């Protein structure tokens, strides 16, 4: 009887520690993908900040600097950000101190 409990506990642990959190992340990404619009400020999964210039079904054009537009996969959009939270040019970000 005790031997049968261990595999059940292992399956339960895998479900609660791995499967369930992954499903929540996937649901969050799907929600973000359906809510983003052209003109939104975003951060890609590779760390590129930009504004969505065009949004297609599976791709997007991202303006990363005035007049500089890159073509990306829609799934590469990691999060929508507020314009006032964007790092300004020359300001330290991501834990940088600004000193060399």
Concatenated DSSP letters for 64-96?
EETTEEEEEEGGGEEEE--GGGSPPTTS--TT-
Which structural domains are found in the chain, ordered by start? 2-84 (2.30.30)
The pLDDT value given to residue 54: 95
| pLDDT single digits (tens) 17-34 | 888 888 888 888 888 888
Residue 92's pLDDT band (cuts 50, 70, 90) = low
The pLDDT value given to residue 91: 61
The pLDDT value given to residue 64: 95
| pLDDT single digits (tens) 33-87 | 888 999 999 999 999 999 999 999 999 999 999 999 999 999 899 899 986 665 5
């Amino acid at each position: 009887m005790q031997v049968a409990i261990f595999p059940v506990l292992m399956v339960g642990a895998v479900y609660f520690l791995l499967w369930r959190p992954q499903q929540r992340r996937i649901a969050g990404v799907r929600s973000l993908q359906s809510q983003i619009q052209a003109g939104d400020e975003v951060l890609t999964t590779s760390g590129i900040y930009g504004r969505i210039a065009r949004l297609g079904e599976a791709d997007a054009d991202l303006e990363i600097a005035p007049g500089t537009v890159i073509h990306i996969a829609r799934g590469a959009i990691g999060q929508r950000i507020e314009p006032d939270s964007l790092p300004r040019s020359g300001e330290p970000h991501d834990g940088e101190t600004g000193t060399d």
